[in-house]
Amino acid sequence: MYWLKLVKKKILTVVIYIFLFEILFQTAFFADFKFIKQPDLFYNGYCDQKYWNLNEKRINYRKKYLPHSILSFQKKGIFIPHKFHQNKLVEKKEFLKNEIALYGASYLDHPEFKNILEDNKNLIINNYALESYGLDQTYLSYKLTSHLNQNKTIVFGFLLEDLDRSIFNFREYQKVQFIFDNNKFELKNTPIKLNKEVVKSYDFYLYRFLKNFYNLSVNKFDPRLSKCKIDNKKDLFNYYFQNIVNESKKYNQKIIVITFNLQQDLTTTTSWRYKFIKNYFAKHNIIHIDSLEIMNNKSIETNEKIENYFGLDAHNNKKSFHYIIDEFLSIYRAI
């Protein structure tokens, strides 16, 4: 029948085009054509390990930091054990009102944040935060040092999207990864081997391109809105903070959490992370300083634009860090 031949011809044409486009992509990857070999075209950086494997951005942290067998890197001049402590004695002494320990990533490690906080000369600060840490590394830095900061206020500060970093074993460098196995989370990819090369893998790039384009289109072309691996991310978050709370009770610590936001959270829409994390802290009575709420309120109160609260590095600037730290100090002094 004529119509059947026509259908077969069209199907064959589509198959040929798919084959040709795939050859084009494979050739571009093999020849290392940078204008095509872009991770954002094929993968979502909040979901896909291959995004980071393909990403050629490599920051040389070795010049600034010390290697660490669990955390990958740590600051110089601050002690972090390479083994988890067991059966450490609990110190029976009064709460140290003026001593705090900071855990987090680039926000608590930001020069503006540190300068403003350190202006409070009555505070004794141990800052374990390090740029590039995921929430998994933030949690692990606390677990490794919690016994060294007994009877103190513990401050966690993180970007909401730092949670997503937990699902990867490589970003700009080799890092740990928690895998759920035998009904519990187990730490993998340790000890860290920073010189370990990323294993090259091949893919069906036309399929990846089309799939990525579709996922972007249904998420307003904003990759952070994707709910990929959401259950795994939520389970990891619950695991981290359940253990943090238990540990803090053991060592007589008071917990304060500061959450930070990308500018898009304020200017367009928040992602699923915002409501989930905010509700978690409210449900478990964890003191939570919500940067988004602070900046929205200040913007209304002072008639300032949200854009004026962020620097060129996409982090908070001096003005908004001041607002956030003022709120932190107010709460800290009251507890």
Q: What would the pLDDT profile of 47-92 be if each residue is shown by its tens digit?
A: 999 999 998 777 777 788 999 999 999 999 999 999 998 767 777 7
More confident residue, 15 or 277: 277
Least confident of 200-204, 220-224, 324-328: 200-204
CATH of the domain at 276: 3.40.50.1110
Is the pLDDT score of 12 beyond 70? no
Q: And the tokens for 324?
A: 């956030």
Question: Residue 250: what pLDDT?
Answer: 94
Q: How confident is the model at residue 19 (pLDDT cuts 50, 70, 90)?
A: low
Burial class of 313 by CB neighbour count within 10 A (0 to 12, 13 to 18, 19+):
exposed
At 114 the pLDDT is 97
Considering the domain boundaries, does residue 50 fall inside one? Answer: no
Which tens digits make up the pLDDT trace of 262-281?
999 999 999 999 999 999 99
Of 70 and 196, which is predicted with more confidence?
A: 70
Q: Where are the alpha helices (DSSP H) in the chain?
A: 2-30, 39-42, 49-54, 111-118, 135-145, 205-217, 230-250, 263-267, 272-283, 291-302, 318-334
Instruction: Judge whether 52 lies within some domain.
Output: no
CA 189 – CA 248 distance, rounded (Å): 27
pLDDT at 7 over 60: no
* Residue 291 domain-assigned (yes or no): yes
pLDDT classification of 30: cutoffs 50, 70, 90: low
Residue 4 lies in a domain: no
Give a yes or no: residue 5 inside a domain.
Answer: no
Q: Is residue 201 part of a domain?
A: no
64, HSE (Cβ side, Cα atoms, 13 Å): 7
| Residues pairing with 104 in the sheet | 157
Q: Which domain holds residue 297?
A: 64-195+227-334
Q: Structurally, how many domains does the chain consist of? A: 1
Type of residue numbered 233: K
Task: Answer whether residue 2 is part of any domain.
Answer: no
Task: Please indicate, yes or no, if residue 220 is contained in any of the structural domains.
Answer: no
The pTM of the whole model exceeds 0.75: yes
Contact predicate 165/134, CB 8 Å = yes
| pLDDT value at 10 more than 80 | no
Q: What is the pLDDT of residue 110?
A: 98
